[in-house]
Amino acid sequence: MKDFKKSTVYQIYPKSFYDTNGDGFGDLNGVIEKLDYLKNLGIDYIWITPFYPSPQVDNGYDIADYYNIDPSFGTLEDFEKLVVEAKARNIYIMLDMVFNHTSTEHNWFKKALDGEEKYKEFYIFKEAVNNELPTNWKSKFGGTAWEYIDKFEEYYLHLFDRTQADLNWDNEEVRKEIYSIVNYWIEKGVKGLRFDVINLISKPEKFENDLDGDGRRFYTDGPKIHEYIKELNENTYGKYDDIITVGEMSSTSIENCIGYSNPKEKELSMVFNFHHVKVDYKNQNKWELQVCNFDNLKKILNDWQLGMQDGNGWNANFWCNHDQPRIVSRFGNDKEYHKESAKMLATMIHLLRGTPYIYQGEEIGMTNAYFTDINQYVDVESLNYFKILKEQEINEDEIYKVLQERSRDNSRTPMQWNSSKNAGFSQGKPWLSINDNYTDINVENGIKDKSSILYHYKKLISLRKQYDVIAYGNYLPMLEDNESVFAYKREYKDEYLIVLNNFYGREVEIELDIQDLEKYKCIITNYEERNLKLRFTLKPYESIAFIK
Ligand code: TEU
Ligand code: CA
């Protein structure tokens, strides 16, 4: 059995990972073929984003059938083989469970539209109020959250795309269907579950306009959320002691996340939150640019580290996923300091208290796509916002600048395996353009060079297994007022860890207050190894960790 505090999770976006049949789409066999690469990296779990039958409006987060595999990804047999082959390499599979909504192509929704009352109750249909929409809530992908159905003279709720209808969790029948789905996959040998936007499932009793917001305050961490997660736990994964779970928590609070992840509460093993990856949003708006507010980043990460520790909660720590731009292009420097800044960011996040998640390609320093033509973009959110920003009469150059930084397609470009055609991802035409820098940034080059970003990640994964202080230690912020350095200490029994990270491309001098200097040894760095001193200068993007 694995200890999730000593584990590292690797996220695979299968559509962009490896294509084995030349149709331009990555597939499950592609994941199987690359298992040795992942074993070598040392990861413990693979989280695979949705591969179920889906019209792919939101790249699989619009599920039409929870019990099958979309033919473009393969078959159930392929999936079963993946579980077995992964296990043979001591890797477990974590599935992505999307239960806030289904695709409107799901049978439940189709039956609802056919007027079957039982299935209408699976969703959230409301009448107009004073000839207006039921509420003024906004979809997270732009526009209203309500879609009108003529024949019912009613609207249904969709917090995401109009083809992603929100499920009615207050209906016990819905909850039971969900338990069956989860148990079905557990029986197939799945050892991890990632629950998509799970803190949005409990809607308020009364639906009302949000006079100063987009509605999120009514359904985020909603009234029955803890009750529903406890019930889910009890009826599914809670019956086993070797299944780990992670909840994706949108706009949440530390207090709620302690509830979700404190083992006493019997809800989830750990939680993702997104506050630290919004520090470059201007006015909280993803579509307005601002440079990373470093003070804010430090404050948020320190508050979450300390808050979750005090409440015995557990964080899932990450910089990248399939919704986020590439971190080296974002808080690092993907030009002059590509290697240095990618390694610094890796060390920074992996040595925190919590379980680290790596998103495919992050371990070789993949960068943003920098697409220059709207036809290169595929993501529904990017396409919607391209229209919305145009309607706001923002000029096209500016819109491209925003998309180049914020589009989710940045993280979804195909994995760069080598410098051959299509980066070794596919023999056919890839569904999304490959980043031009693949001849330089790719796995094969990473394997050849012992000083690569790839080896740095490999080392971080093994350090977590080697030193208990990384897995279990207490967290203490250091140099809190420093404007360029993110530093912290960890302590566990008689083990001590010090981590120093320069977030900028200039030197910075720091002064430390530490006893027993000579007892500390360097365990990882992105420059030369050196000794700890009370006063020293960190080089551009330098990152160094010491252990006593
Ligand atoms: O994302 C939830 C979510 O709200 C965001 O990360 C979202 O993509 C972002 O706010 C848009 O700016 C999850 C999945 O990770 C995402 O891929 C899905 O599109 C979404 O849920 C709907 O299922
Ligand atoms: Ca394929």
pLDDT in tens, 422-453: 999 999 999 999 999 999 999 999 999 999 99
Q: Is the shortest distance between the CB of 381 and ligand 1 below 6 Å?
A: yes
- Phi, psi for 258 (deg, rounded to 5): -65, -45
As assigned by CATH, the class of the 107-166 domain is: alpha beta
Classify domain 9-102+172-373+410-461 at the CATH topology level: TIM Barrel (3.20.20)
pLDDT at 324 (0 to 100): 98
Question: Best substitution site from 196, 286, 378 to test ligand 1's pocket, by max atoms within 8 Å of Cβ?
Answer: 196
pLDDT at 520 (0 to 100): 97
Query: Which residue's alpha carbon is nearest to atom 1 within ligand 1?
Result: 197
| C-alpha 135 – ligand 1 centre gap (Å) | 22
Let me know: does 65 contact 73? Beta carbons within 8 Å. Answer: no
What is the secondary structure of 280-341 as a DSSP string? TEETTEEEEE----HHHHHHHHHHHHHHHHHTT--BEE-S--TTS--HHHHTS-SSTTHHHH
> Is residue 388 exposed (0-12), middle (13-18) or buried (19+ Cβ within 10 Å)?
middle
- For the chain, give the mean pLDDT: 98
Structure tokens at 279: 């520090």
Structure tokens at 235: 């009826």
Average pLDDT, integer, range 319-338: 98
- pLDDT tens, position by position, 361-414: 999 999 999 999 999 999 999 999 999 999 999 999 999 999 999 999 999 999
Local structure of 239: helix, strand or coil:
helix
The b/e string for 43-56 (b: 16+ C-beta within 10 A; e otherwise) is bbbbbbbbbbbbeb
Percent of the chain with pLDDT over 90: 100
Q: Does 1 score more than 90 pLDDT?
A: no
> Is residue 241 exposed (0-12), middle (13-18) or buried (19+ Cβ within 10 Å)?
exposed
| Residue of 58, 161, 221, 248 marked active site | 248
Atom of ligand 1 nearest to the CA of 274: 6
Q: Does 309 score more than 90 pLDDT?
A: yes
Could you give the maximum distance between any two Cα atoms of the chain, in Å?
77
Question: Best substitution site from 52, 56, 59, 61 to test ligand 1's pocket, by max atoms within 8 Å of Cβ?
Answer: 61
Structure tokens at 413: 């470009």
Q: Is the shortest distance between the CB of 286 and ligand 1 below 6 Å?
A: yes
Question: Best substitution site from 197, 220, 278, 380 to test ligand 1's pocket, by max atoms within 8 Å of Cβ?
Answer: 197
462's CB contacts (< 8 A; 6+ apart) are 42
For the chain, the residue count is: 548
- Phi, psi for 444 (deg, rounded to 5): -60, -45
Cβ neighbour number for residue 321 with a 10 Å cutoff: 21
Q: Does 331 score more than 90 pLDDT?
A: yes
- The residue type found at 129 is V
Average pLDDT, integer, range 171-180: 98
Helix, strand, coil share (%) of the chain residues, nearest 5: 35, 20, 45
Cα separation, 371 vs 353, in Å, equals 36
HSE of 236, CA atoms in CB hemisphere, 13 A: 29
- Phi, psi for 200 (deg, rounded to 5): -105, 0
- Any catalytic annotation for residue 196? yes
Q: Are strands 45-48 and 9-12 parallel, antiparallel or unpaired?
A: parallel
The dihedral over CA atoms of 135, 140, 143, 148, expressed in degrees to the nearest 10, equals -60
- Any catalytic annotation for residue 336? no
Q: Decide yes or no: CATH 2.30.40.10 for domain 474-547.
A: no
- pLDDT tens, position by position, 234-286: 999 999 999 999 999 999 999 999 999 999 999 999 999 999 999 999 999 99
Indicate yes or no: pTM above 0.75: yes
* Segments making up each domain of the chain, as ranges: 9-102+172-373+410-461, 107-166, 374-406, 474-547
Choose among 486, 414, 424: nearest CA to 12.
414
Atom of ligand 1 nearest to the CA of 161: 22
